[in-house]
């Protein structure tokens, strides 16, 4: 077996995982010397008992609270700017993100602007942030985005209608409190989308050209956990154990992709989600099987290992057989959890297809894709999403 001896770095935050981990938030804000925390969240969580318990933990620690919840499902540049303005106007000294990827990404962007100034889009790309922000503590309420442990922040450029990536270790949160209890109130479709997002993170990290022995361990474990638990996670009788396993899968996937980066699925999803305003995990779900088919020959042995974890009898199949079986298994899982296709919807205008293809081609995630994909292939991919 070939061993890659190239140097790699590995960055993760402090993490506490387990039942009621979220209730430690007040204590840990105190450890950071916080006196006034901005809670970055969305309006959909404020009525849940677990959310009120988190707020009580903060207030019982003697820490004042400012709530910012004007956030879209795909956070936008102006929302981050409004949040940074409020953070500074209220003299806040810490950030607490409670929610899925949208609040956590927005909190990261608020952190960047409140410390470094300028506009959030000034920091698009890799390692463009000069100064670290205030303490950032995350309580994830979905099991898939891994924004609570990653070096990525995704924000929508509202002028170009494209989601763009900010990648820097300066946006890695200081603490992630990973608690299965909030996930018990998560909408089943959101559960499906975020779970497929976690699976995509793990698969892309494993075939990434920046993968390492350390990220491989986490990627493979994530694939196994998500595959075994996602169908149960969307059922009405899901258990805390199932949701804990989904969080664990998301966590392992986050460790992997935050350090090995991603690939063409995410590059294409950022463009598609920005234009169509679709959930990120839904975009990944629709694209994953197609990108695997495109990439397969460039990372055949790695895809064979993934297929084996998914229960495909790879020893009886040649590479073409493994590719077809793997694509079929991903499609079957997506369908089983209720995520459909874009087939039948109106194909976007040529100019929109071109803009998405150009955006995907220049996305930082494309750099670590195992296959070099050209503009013509991306145009064909996008058009194909809407055709039977």
pLDDT tens, 162-196? 889 999 999 999 999 999 999 999 999 999 999 99
Residue 343 has pLDDT above 80, yes or no: no
* Whether residue 144 is found in the same domain as residue 196: no
**64-68 and 125-126 strand pairing:** unpaired
Average of per-residue pLDDT across 70-91: 95
Confidence of residue 2 (pLDDT cuts 50, 70, 90): low
Residue 388 has pLDDT above 60, yes or no: no
* Whether residue 167 is found in the same domain as residue 264: no
| pLDDT value at residue 134 | 97
* Whether residue 236 is found in the same domain as residue 368: yes
In a domain, residue 7? The reply is no
Burial of 308 per CB tally in 10 Å (0-12, 13-18, 19+): middle
303 in Cβ contact with 223 (< 8 Å): no
| pLDDT value at residue 296 | 98
In a domain, residue 178? The reply is yes
Confidence of residue 161 (pLDDT cuts 50, 70, 90): confident
The predicted-structure confidence for 101-125, as pLDDT tens digits, reads as follows 999 999 999 999 999 999 999 999 9
* Whether residue 151 is found in the same domain as residue 191: no
* Domains held by the chain: number: 2
| pLDDT value at residue 342 | 87
**Model pTM greater than 0.85?**
yes
* Whether residue 213 is found in the same domain as residue 122: no
* Residue that is last in its domain, among 145, 168, 183: 183
Residue 18 has pLDDT above 90, yes or no: yes
* Whether residue 253 is found in the same domain as residue 342: yes
* Whether residue 130 is found in the same domain as residue 258: no
In a domain, residue 168? The reply is yes
* Whether residue 108 is found in the same domain as residue 229: no
Helix (H) or strand (E) holding 229: helix 213-233
The predicted-structure confidence for 350-361, as pLDDT tens digits, reads as follows 999 999 999 999
Q: Which residues pair with 109 in a beta bridge?
A: none
**14-17 and 175-178 strand pairing:** parallel
Average of per-residue pLDDT across 201-223: 97
238-256 core/surface letters (b: 16 or more CB in 10 A; e: else)? beeebbbbbbbbbbbbbbb
CATH code of residue 376: 1.20.1090.10
* Whether residue 246 is found in the same domain as residue 376: yes
25 in Cβ contact with 54 (< 8 Å): yes
For residues 186 and 325, what is the distance between their CA atoms, to the nearest angstrom? 31
The predicted-structure confidence for 274-289, as pLDDT tens digits, reads as follows 888 889 999 999 999 9
| pLDDT value at residue 162 | 87
Confidence of residue 315 (pLDDT cuts 50, 70, 90): very high
Task: Please give the residue range of the domain that contains residue 247.
Answer: 187-384
Residue 271 has pLDDT above 80, yes or no: yes
What is the rounded average pLDDT for all residues in the chain?
A: 95
CB atoms near residue 22 (< 10 Å):
23
* Whether residue 88 is found in the same domain as residue 200: no
Continuous H helices in 90-212: 101-116, 188-207
| pLDDT value at residue 245 | 98
| pLDDT value at residue 3 | 61
Residue 1 has pLDDT above 60, yes or no: no
Continuous H helices in 234-368: 240-260, 264-276, 280-295, 300-309, 319-336, 350-362
Of the candidates 316, 268, 313, the residue with the CA atom closest to the CA atom of residue 294:
268
* Residue that is last in its domain, among 131, 151, 183: 183
* Whether residue 166 is found in the same domain as residue 195: no
158 in Cβ contact with 78 (< 8 Å): yes
């Amino acid at each position: 077996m070939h061993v890659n001896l190239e140097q790699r770095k590995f960055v993760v935050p402090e993490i506490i995982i387990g039942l009621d981990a979220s209730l430690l938030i007040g204590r840990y804000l105190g450890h950071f010397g916080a006196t006034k925390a901005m809670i970055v969240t969305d309006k959909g969580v404020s009525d849940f008992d677990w959310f009120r318990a988190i707020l009580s933990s903060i207030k019982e620690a003697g820490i004042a609270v400012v709530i910012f919840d004007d956030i879209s499902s795909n956070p936008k540049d102006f929302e981050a700017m409004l949040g940074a303005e409020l953070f500074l106007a209220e003299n806040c000294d810490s950030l607490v993100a409670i929610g899925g990827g949208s609040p956590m990404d927005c909190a990261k962007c608020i952190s960047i602007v409140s410390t470094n100034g300028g506009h959030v889009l000034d920091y698009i790309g890799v390692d463009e942030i000069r100064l670290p922000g205030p303490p950032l503590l995350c309580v994830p309420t979905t099991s898939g985005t891994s924004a609570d442990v990653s070096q990525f922040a995704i924000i929508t450029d509202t002028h170009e209608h494209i989601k763009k990536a900010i990648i820097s270790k300066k946006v890695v949160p200081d603490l992630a409190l990973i608690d299965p209890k909030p996930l018990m109130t998560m909408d089943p479709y959101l559960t499906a989308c975020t779970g497929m997002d976690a699976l995509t993170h793990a698969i892309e990290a494993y075939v990434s050209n920046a993968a390492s022995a350390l990220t491989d361990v986490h990627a493979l474990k994530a694939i196994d956990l998500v595959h075994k638990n996602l169908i149960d996670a969307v059922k009405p009788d899901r258990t805390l154990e199932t949701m804990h396993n989904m969080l664990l899968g998301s966590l392992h996937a986050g460790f992997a992709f935050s350090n090995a980066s991603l690939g063409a699925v995410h590059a294409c999803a950022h463009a598609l989600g920005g234009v169509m305003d679709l959930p990120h995990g839904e975009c990944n779900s629709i694209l994953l099987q197609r990108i695997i088919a495109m990439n397969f020959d460039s990372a055949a042995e790695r895809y064979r290992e993934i297929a084996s974890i998914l229960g495909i009898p790879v020893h009886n199949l040649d590479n073409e057989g493994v590719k077809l079986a793997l694509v079929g298994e991903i499609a079957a899982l997506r369908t089983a959890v209720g995520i459909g296709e874009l087939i039948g919807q109106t194909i976007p205008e040529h100019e929109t297809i071109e803009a998405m293809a150009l955006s995907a081609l220049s996305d930082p995630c494309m750099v670590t894709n195992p296959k070099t994909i050209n503009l013509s292939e991306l145009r064909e991919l996008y058009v194909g999403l809407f055709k039977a």
